[in-house]
Amino acid sequence: MGIQLITAATLEPVTVAEAKLQCQIDTSDFDTLLPMLIASARQKAENYMDAAIMQRTLEMTLDAFPEAEIRLEQPVAWNKLHGGMGAVACPVSITSVTYVDTAGATQTLAGAAYSLDLSVWPFYLLPAVDTEWPDTRDQANAVTIRYQLGYDATSKVPADIRAWLLMTVAFMFANRESMVLDGKVAEIPNRWTDALLDPYRVFEV
């Protein structure tokens, strides 16, 4: 079993124009820096929530189909794997489910052959009602599931998440050194701003 990132997120939850407004920047002098700060803030939010924000494509492999549901995992690269409860800031869609059958041929399951349980993270892929997963060849990585996690448009990202990101970007812009100078407060983000992400956070159970 394994999981890998196939296509990284190509959109960000806030735009450079929005970040410039939040930071009160009216020149193009920082147009190269701001995208890096936005990406950094987004990755920090995703790690805090244990959930994707912007859409990316993942691929998970299994040695065989299980008896029932398949738990769709997230990359170990940006969080730990665990179950959780709570609202979820990462919509999901299945791109394809393929498997190596007992004769060694690669087959693709029709969309009608499975369904998604999206009621709570972690999401689960299940065989269609009154059906079972097909048999596979006895080999490593016989089953491959490709799926997408995250919002496919900036406009779909919840306002609380976007507000947290803008405040975090503004803080990083205002404090571009690693040292505290002239008595500036260096805590980022504080508990109040973190609370904006709590409704979308996955908690370990």
Instruction: Please say if the pLDDT value at position 91 is more than 90.
Output: no
Q: Using alpha carbons only, how large is the chain's radius of gyration in Å?
A: 20
What is the mean predicted confidence (pLDDT) over 112-122? 83
Please report where in the chains the tokens 């006895």 appear, as a residue: 138
Q: What is the pLDDT of residue 181?
A: 55
Q: What is the pLDDT of residue 75?
A: 55
Degrees, nearest 5: CA angle 77-81-86: 120
Region of residue 11 (left: phi > 0; alpha: psi -120 to 50; beta: else): beta
Q: What is the pLDDT of residue 119?
A: 75
DSSP conformation class of 135: P
Residues 161-177: tens digit of each pLDDT: 999 999 999 988 988 76
* Average pLDDT along the chain: 83
**Of 98, 136, 145, 126, the residue nearest 1 (C-alpha):** 145
Q: What is the pLDDT of residue 89?
A: 46
- Residues ≥6 apart with Cβ < 8 Å to 49: 89, 197, 200, 201, 202
Distances (CA, A) of 116 to 18, 60, 198: 35, 15, 25
Q: What is the pLDDT of residue 83?
A: 38
- Tell me the two tokens of residue 83: 């179950």
Residues 15-27: tens digit of each pLDDT: 999 999 999 999 9
Q: What is the pLDDT of residue 180?
A: 56
Residues 34-69: tens digit of each pLDDT: 999 999 999 889 888 878 899 999 999 999 999 989
Q: What is the pLDDT of residue 81?
A: 34
